[in-house]
């Protein structure tokens, strides 16, 4: 077929880049200085000086150059013929390049490049261009080896692939292709090497020259059918190779990330299978072969890579591993630039900020890869930066001019090491280790004493904050025993010094410090066991190791490797014993299960023969005497004993046949019967059946079959009726699909639970085995000395009673567990700052309303009481005392109210001088008494400011909060109205809202709507609307999808807000019907508007908590998806954070079931509820929608800006796409763009419209992409 690719210039031999001074000599002995820029085994490309001299050169010349060697300099003079002239230089052909000269040039290519290794320390700077040249030179030979392997084996591999003549009709056709390839092998090898090496130039750029064809996203109309089929053939091979070599590929990417100081998401791996295969494909397409032939060649190349890549990747990782790590370019992010927001950045590397703009965090707009996640320490550092920015305004920081004018001297590594050594010797430092902020101050003081003119650099301050927070979190880990605490405290300061010296161990995937901390935690876990053997030995070893770390680190960081190895050997010895104990427990249970299964199989065989029948009593007599036991043994050992079980069963079958045969028949078979009886006697004897019992069985069978006496008379057969086994046995466990059953079903081996023990303490236990027959769950403690086993019913009961709960995995390395906890704690600080009043630390009005909304569905038959509190004379007092006095008064009142509340009650600040209390599970009379007591307590106190004293007077209004309440805002108004009435009647009064016409009207309206739900459905007054979700930066991403919204019309066809309809549906618990209606409507639209649907990126459909927790709804949706013919990956289902967090078990089960169809999930209103990093990490969602409450005031609120930015960082660290709601202006959109949010939704982007009016035009056609040839000479 004719390839559509542009045919490049061909290079027959592999080129090597070099810069070497040389001399050109003509026959007339004229000499010209030159530089050799490039060479191969048959030619050289060189640059003549002065410029223009190349035109005067004759065809025949000599080239003279000198290369240094280990012994002495070597000089070579080679005959050459000028073949190509250009302004860039001349290309010469060398007919017989001396091997010594060629090897000397090759040796010079690597010696001429200066790339710092780890052993160089800071003595040699990192130069990006040098690294790229180093990488190119070191990849040439391995790449050539890959391709050479292909050509060496292509004939054999093609013959194997064509065993059924799938690709070639005859052997001659195959041989013709092989001959063509072999004739062009050198050129192909050269082209392949250079095509791959060219990718190194864009190793850190997003516009990489080679396109990853596994993410092919161009319309089929742009390519010929054969071209597309050809691409599919290669992409299948790429996927297999990528999946198989994922670890090796990631290892190379990590090394490049480390060396270049870039996040792994910013690295384009130049030797990924996609690049290697794509370069090979471009070469093969130049031969214009048919699709079948190219497919066969692709398969052969894939086989070559499969066999060669392990060594190749090992070789690449090896030469990369010796290179020095660069500083992390943590400035690679989008920063806020809007004038109304803080622009100061404490940035961990401010010199890299400029290049960060306009670079998307994730390239692929839809294909989310969770394997490439940023360092958690890196993310934590960024979040701490944002928190610090939130504390300062622009005026708090010196200007760029001020900073530039200052000459600042920073503490160096020696200063920091000396200061930490001094702190180590101070006993009072141990107290400070529980608070890294105080420790930082102490370190600063110690350093100031050493040199008062120096200060901490911004980078060191940031490192100290991140690593101080890390150790602070580590020491508070609940799984770190008191026995282990002193050992960690002993190594805290020495290890804290390492990142201040540039050794940032948390950023490395594997590091001696991380391994040491993790091993210490393992030994500490072992020490917690009460019956742990040789505990004193472990303590002695820990004392020795941690003392050595404290003594030798950070003065001698190289000692870390020795300590790591020593600790690793000791820990393996200890854990080997634990593993052995656990294996023994598992072996016992597996043996028991095999026995139970064997018994079941045997019983089933017996039941086939006896169930529902009258059976001679001799048969159960035989079975009980040991024959059934023999059958079980034969089933257990069927691999060894072969058909022994069948033989035993045949005995029963024969006996059953003979019992009812006539005497005349049995006389003929006397010999067979006697043989069988002897066999029975022997086998029962071998199984250990007592002699008396064995003789009794044989005599009974003899009497029944052969008879006794003389003449022999057969004994009359007596029978027993066997009942038929129940085909539907009653289940012993409750299999109802409730949350507890689902939770138990989702447990997997390796998970940890906290289970209440005999002394009422929760003990971590690991699930090590789940049995099928019977269904049991086996747990062990951390040291494998204590085991527990539960049936499903028993384990479910433990969860229901609160005696068991899921726990963090103790198998997770301590450092990972700590960074997770640290990140979650930082995120919780963001949420707290955004949802709490900074002056009183009480919930804000918006957050309080959210909490009230969350309480509403939980009310049931209970009642809460809402209390609105107004501080009277507040403005008068603050006018006298000023702002400082006002702040102190607020704190005083907050404390007075908090002291009188019950633990379950909620307290919030609604306004300047107003507060609210939610009395939970409280009747009206009780709430009234509580409020009177609160007023009495507060009014008896006085606010004292300077020399003045002021009485504090309040008024309070109460409103019942019942399940009949639908409108939370109306509830607040009712409490406020009661409070106003109380204030009018005098000071320190409490009144209960008595109800009014407006309230009664609302309740009647709600009841009326409940009765009209069926009418709305039957009269087809619901309609679907849609609103676009579009990229914040369209130039970087063109993904657009639409959220489906609900619309409703009144009796006259006018559109009305669903303010009463939705609460009525929720109250009636019929939201699942709405969800079904929406889904059916969307699917109908897709069927009728397939062209528009093909032109868009899909729909986002909201699901209620009622649907999410319904097994019937899940089955409905699964059936609908199964029957659908459109691309299901275009469907996104939205679930709110609050709904998901209320029943995480159901949510995870639902997401898992629907994701099997390829659908995606979006977590809506993130930040409005639980907002846990760990919780988000455990939910398999693809998009995170930031709650619009934090977006709508983004231009004015620093706390909102901080939480939006932190949510965006956390989502991107988990490779989730972010969507901001309430994008109502260009100003908000610009801020979101600076933050780096991916998508936006709001009136500024698109106003909602009826779904039936939606028409989507095709996206503009992307340009076809071809590889460019950048060779600058040819022979």
Give the pLDDT of residue 350.
32
End-to-end alpha carbon distance in the chain: 28
Range in 305-319, 452-466, 749-763, 867-881 the model is least confident about: 452-466
Residue for token pair 């020495």: 494
How many C-beta atoms surround the C-beta of residue 1127 within 10 A?
13
Write out pLDDT tens, residues 793-842. Answer: 999 999 988 899 888 888 889 988 888 888 888 888 888 888 899 899 99
Give the pLDDT of residue 650.
93
Using the 3D structure, point to which of 321, 347, 370 is the last residue of a domain: 321
**% of the chain surpassing 70 pLDDT:** 82
Give a yes or no: residue 823 inside a domain.
Answer: no
Residues 908 and 787 in one domain: no
Q: Quote the domain boundaries for residue 627.
A: 614-721
Does residue 400 carry a pLDDT above 50?
no
- Mean pLDDT calculated for residue range 835-856: 90
Residue for token pair 């040839």: 1269
Residues ≥6 apart with Cβ < 8 Å to 1158: 1127, 1128, 1129
Residues 97 and 152 in one domain: no
Range in 224-228, 288-292, 932-936 the model is least confident about: 224-228
Give a yes or no: residue 711 inside a domain.
Answer: yes
Give the pLDDT of residue 434.
55
Give the pLDDT of residue 1268.
35
Residues ≥6 apart with Cβ < 8 Å to 405: none
Does residue 359 carry a pLDDT above 60?
no
Residues 199 and 347 in one domain: no
Residues 317 and 250 in one domain: yes
DSSP character at residue 10: P
- Mean pLDDT calculated for residue range 510-528: 87
* Helix or strand (DSSP H, E) at 766: strand 762-770
| CA-based nearest residue to 1188, from 1134, 1238, 1233, 1241 | 1241
Residue for token pair 């109908």: 1084
- Cα→Cα distances 436→381, 481, 751, Å: 15, 20, 32
Residues 799 and 852 in one domain: no
Write out pLDDT tens, residues 1113-1134. Answer: 999 999 999 999 999 999 999 9
Give the pLDDT of residue 956.
94
Give a yes or no: residue 830 inside a domain.
Answer: no
SS3 call for 863: coil
Does residue 288 carry a pLDDT above 80?
yes
| CA-based nearest residue to 1138, from 1112, 1190, 1103 | 1103
Write out pLDDT tens, residues 34-54. Answer: 898 888 877 888 888 777 777
Give a yes or no: residue 594 inside a domain.
Answer: no
Residues 275 and 310 in one domain: yes
Give a yes or no: residue 878 inside a domain.
Answer: yes
Cα separation, 1039 vs 486, in Å, equals: 54
User: In this structure, what token pair is assigned to residue 8?
Assistant: 């490049």
Give the pLDDT of residue 486.
87
Give the pLDDT of residue 531.
67
Give the pLDDT of residue 435.
62
Are residues 1155 and 1180 in contact, defined by beta-carbon separation less than 8 angstroms? yes
**% of the chain surpassing 90 pLDDT:** 29
Write out pLDDT tens, residues 696-747. Answer: 999 999 998 888 888 888 888 898 988 877 655 444 444 455 678 888 888 8
Range in 336-345, 851-860, 1026-1035, 1207-1216 the model is least confident about: 336-345
Give a yes or no: residue 596 inside a domain.
Answer: no
Write out pLDDT tens, residues 409-436. Answer: 777 777 877 887 788 777 666 555 556 6
User: In this structure, what token pair is assigned to residue 915?
Assistant: 């507060």
Give the pLDDT band of residue 693 (cuts 50, 70, 90). very high
The mean pLDDT value of the chain amounts to 80
User: In this structure, what token pair is assigned to residue 184?
Assistant: 């062009």
Helices (H), ranges, 901-990: 924-939, 968-984
Q: Where are the beta strands (DSSP E) in 488-543?
A: none
| CA-based nearest residue to 1165, from 897, 877, 854 | 854
Domain harbouring 963, CATH code? 3.30.70.270
Residues 856 and 902 in one domain: yes
- Mean pLDDT calculated for residue range 632-656: 91
- Farthest-apart Cα atoms in the chain, separation: 135
Write out pLDDT tens, residues 991-1038. Answer: 998 865 455 555 556 666 666 777 788 788 889 999 999 999 988 888
Strands 719-721 and 614-616, how do they pair? antiparallel
Give the pLDDT of residue 627.
93
- Mean pLDDT calculated for residue range 193-215: 64
Give the pLDDT of residue 314.
87
- Mean pLDDT calculated for residue range 324-336: 44
Residues 770 and 848 in one domain: no
Give a yes or no: residue 751 inside a domain.
Answer: yes
Are residues 1142 and 853 in contact, defined by beta-carbon separation less than 8 angstroms? no
Residues 422 and 404 in one domain: no
Residues 1148 and 1243 in one domain: yes
User: In this structure, what token pair is assigned to residue 363?
Assistant: 């390239």
Give the pLDDT of residue 360.
30
Give the pLDDT of residue 617.
92
Cα separation, 97 vs 81, in Å, equals: 12
Q: Is 200 left (phi over 0), alpha (psi -120 to 50) or beta?
A: alpha
Range in 179-183, 420-424, 812-816, 1041-1045 the model is least confident about: 420-424
Residues 858 and 967 in one domain: yes
Using the 3D structure, point to which of 263, 288, 321 is the last residue of a domain: 321
Does residue 358 carry a pLDDT above 60?
no
Residues ≥6 apart with Cβ < 8 Å to 395: none
Most confident of 175-179, 963-967, 1264-1268: 175-179
Give a yes or no: residue 1220 inside a domain.
Answer: yes
Using the 3D structure, point to which of 83, 112, 141 is the last residue of a domain: 112
SS3 call for 49: strand
Write out pLDDT tens, residues 162-173. Answer: 877 778 888 888
Domain harbouring 70, CATH code? 2.40.10.220
Does residue 8 carry a pLDDT above 60?
no
Strands 719-721 and 74-86, how do they pair? unpaired
- Mean pLDDT calculated for residue range 1194-1204: 86
- Total domain count, the chain: 7
Residues 711 and 747 in one domain: no
User: In this structure, what token pair is assigned to residue 449?
Assistant: 């004493």
């Amino acid at each position: 077929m004719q390839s559509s690719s542009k045919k490049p210039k061909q290079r027959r031999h592999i080129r090597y880049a070099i810069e070497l001074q040389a001399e050109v000599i003509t026959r007339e002995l004229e000499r010209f200085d030159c530089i050799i820029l490039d060479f191969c085994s048959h030619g050289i490309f060189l640059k003549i000086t002065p410029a223009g001299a190349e035109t005067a050169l004759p065809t025949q010349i000599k080239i003279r150059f000198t290369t240094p060697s280990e012994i002495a300099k070597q000089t070579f003079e080679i005959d050459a013929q000028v073949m190509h002239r250009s302004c860039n230089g001349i290309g010469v052909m060398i007919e017989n390049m001396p091997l010594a000269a060629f090897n000397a040039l090759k040796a010079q290519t690597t010696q001429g490049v200066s790339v710092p290794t780890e052993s160089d320390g800071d003595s040699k700077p990192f130069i990006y261009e040098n690294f790229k040249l180093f990488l190119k030179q070191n990849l040439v030979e391995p790449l050539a080896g890959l391709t050479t392997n292909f050509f060496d084996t292509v004939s054999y591999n093609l013959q194997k692939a064509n065993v059924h003549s799938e690709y070639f009709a005859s052997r001659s056709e195959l041989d013709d292709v092989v001959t063509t390839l072999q004739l062009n092998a050198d050129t192909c090898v050269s082209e392949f090497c250079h095509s791959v090496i060219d990718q190194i130039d864009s190793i850190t750029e997003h516009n990489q020259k080679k396109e990853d064809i596994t993410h092919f996203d161009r319309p089929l109309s742009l390519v010929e059918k054969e071209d597309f089929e050809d691409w599919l053939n290669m992409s299948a091979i790429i996927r297999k190779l990528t999946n198989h070599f994922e670890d090796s590929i990631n290892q190379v990417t990590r090394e490049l990330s480390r060396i270049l100081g870039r996040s792994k998401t910013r690295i384009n791996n130049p030797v990924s299978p996609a690049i290697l295969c794509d370069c090979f494909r471009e070469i093969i397409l130049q031969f214009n072969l048919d699709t079948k032939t190219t497919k066969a060649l692709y398969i052969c190349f894939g086989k070559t890579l499969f066999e060669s890549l392990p060594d190749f990747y090992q070789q690449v990782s090896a030469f990369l591993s010796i290179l020095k790590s660069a500083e992390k370019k943590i400035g690679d992010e989008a920063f806020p630039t809007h004038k109304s927001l803080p622009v100061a950045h404490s940035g961990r590397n401010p010199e890299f900020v400029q290049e960060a703009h306009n670079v998307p965090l994730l390239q692929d707009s839809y294909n989310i890869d969770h394997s490439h996640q940023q360092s958690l320490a890196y993310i934590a550092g960024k979040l701490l930066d944002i928190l610090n920015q939130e504390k300062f305004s622009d005026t708090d920081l010196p200007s760029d001019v001020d900073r530039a004018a200052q000459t600042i001297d920073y503490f160096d590594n020696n200063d920091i090491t000396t200061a930490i050594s001094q702190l180590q010797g101070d006993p009072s430092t141990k107290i400070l280790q529980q608070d890294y902020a105080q420790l930082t101050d102490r370190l600063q003081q110690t350093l100031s004493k050493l040199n008062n003119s120096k200060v901490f650099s911004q980078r060191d301050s940031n490192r100290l904050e991140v690593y101080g927070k890390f150790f602070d979190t580590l020491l508070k880990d609940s799984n770190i025993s008191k026995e282990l605490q002193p050992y960690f405290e002993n190594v805290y300061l020495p290890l804290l010094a390492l990142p201040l010296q540039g050794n940032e161990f948390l950023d490395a995937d594997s590091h001696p410090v991380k391994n040491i901390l993790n091993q210490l935690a393992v030994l500490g876990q072992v020490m917690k066991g009460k019956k742990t053997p040789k505990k004193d030995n472990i303590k002695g070893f820990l004392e020795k190791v941690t003392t050595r770390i404290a003594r030798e680190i950070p003065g001698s960081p190289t000692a870390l490797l020795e300590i790591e190895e020593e600790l690793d050997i000791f820990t393996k010895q200890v854990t080997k014993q634990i593993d052995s104990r656990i294996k023994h427990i598992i072996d016992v249970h597996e043996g028991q299960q095999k026995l139970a299964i064997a018994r079941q199989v045997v019983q089933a065989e017996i039941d086939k023969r006896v169930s529902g029948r009258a059976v001679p009593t001799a048969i159960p007599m035989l079975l009980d005497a040991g024959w059934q036991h023999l059958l079980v043994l034969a089933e257990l050992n069927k691999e060894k004993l072969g058909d022994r079980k069948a033989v035993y069963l045949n005995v029963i079958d024969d006996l059953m046949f003979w019992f009812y045969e006539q005497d005349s028949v049995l006389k003929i078979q006397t010999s067979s019967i006697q043989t069988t009886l002897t066999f029975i006697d022997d086998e029962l004897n071998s199984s250990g059946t007592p002699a008396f019992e064995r003789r009794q069985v044989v005599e009974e069978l003899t009497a029944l079959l052969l008879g006794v006496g003389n003449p022999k008379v057969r004994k009359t057969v007596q029978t027993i009726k066997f009942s038929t086994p129940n085909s539907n046995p009653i289940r012993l466990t409750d299999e109802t699909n409730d949350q507890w059953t689902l939770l138990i079903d989702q447990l997997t081996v390796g998970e940890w639970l906290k289970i209440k023990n005999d002394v009422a303490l929760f003990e971590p236990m690991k699930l090590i085995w789940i049995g099928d027959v019977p269904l049991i769950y086996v747990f062990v403690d951390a040291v494998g000395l204590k085991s527990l086993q539960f049936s499903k019913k028993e384990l479910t009961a433990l969860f229901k009673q609160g005696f068991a709960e899921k726990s963090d995995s103790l198998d997770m390395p301590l450092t990972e567990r700590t960074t997770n906890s640290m990140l979650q704690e930082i995120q919780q600080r963001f949420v707290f700052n955004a949802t709490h009043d900074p002056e009183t630390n009480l919930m804000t009005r918006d957050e309080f309303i959210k909490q009230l909304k969350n309480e509403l569905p939980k009310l049931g038959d209970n009642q809460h009481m809402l209390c609105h509190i107004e501080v009277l004379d507040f403005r008068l007092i603050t006018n006298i005392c000023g702002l400082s006095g006002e702040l102190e008064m607020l704190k005083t009142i907050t404390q007075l109210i908090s002291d009188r509340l019950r633990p379950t009650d909620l307290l919030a600040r609604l306004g300047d001088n107003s507060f609210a209390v939610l009395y939970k599970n409280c009747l009206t009379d009780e709430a009234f008494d509580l409020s009177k007591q609160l007023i009495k307590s507060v009014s008896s106190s006085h606010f004292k400011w300077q020399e003045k004293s002021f009485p504090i007077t309040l008024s309070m209004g109460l409103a019942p909060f019942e399940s009949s309440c639908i409108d939370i805002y109306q509830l607040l108004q009712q409490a406020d109205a009661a409070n106003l009435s109380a204030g009018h009647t005098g000071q320190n009064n409490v009144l209960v809202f008595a109800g009014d016409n407006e309230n009664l009207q609302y309740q009647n309206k709600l009841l009326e709507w409940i009765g009209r739900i069926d009418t709305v459905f039957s009269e087809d007054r619901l309609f679907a609307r849609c609103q676009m979700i579009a990229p914040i930066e369209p130039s970087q991403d063109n993904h657009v999808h639409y959220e489906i919204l609900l619309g409703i019309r009144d009796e006259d066809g006018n559109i009305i807000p669903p303010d009463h309809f939705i609460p009525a549906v929720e109250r009636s618990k019929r939201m699942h019907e709405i969800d079904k209606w929406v889904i059916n409507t969307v699917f109908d639209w897709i069927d009728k508007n397939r062209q528009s649907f093909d032109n868009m990126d899909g729909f986002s459909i909201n699901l209620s908590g009622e649907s999410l927790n319904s097994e019937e709804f899940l089955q409905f949706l699964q059936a609908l998806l199964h029957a659908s013919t459109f691309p299901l990956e275009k469907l996104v289902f939205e679930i709110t954070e609050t709904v998901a967090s209320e029943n995480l078990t159901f949510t995870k089960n639902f997401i898992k079931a629907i994701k099997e169809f390829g659908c995606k999930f979006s977590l809506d209103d993130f930040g409005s509820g639980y907002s846990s990093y760990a919780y988000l990490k455990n939910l398999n969602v693809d998009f995170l929608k930031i709650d619009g409450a934090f977006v709508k005031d983004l231009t004015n609120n620093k706390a909102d800006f901080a939480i939006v930015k932190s949510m965006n960082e956390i989502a991107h660290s988990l490779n989730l796409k972010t969507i901001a709601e309430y994008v109502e202006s260009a100003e908000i959109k610009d801020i979101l763009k600076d933050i780096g949010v991916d998508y936006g939704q709001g009136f500024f982007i698109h106003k909602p419209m009826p779904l039936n009016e939606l028409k989507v035009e095709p996206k503009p056609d992307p340009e076809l992409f071809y590889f460019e040839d950048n060779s600058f000479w040819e022979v």
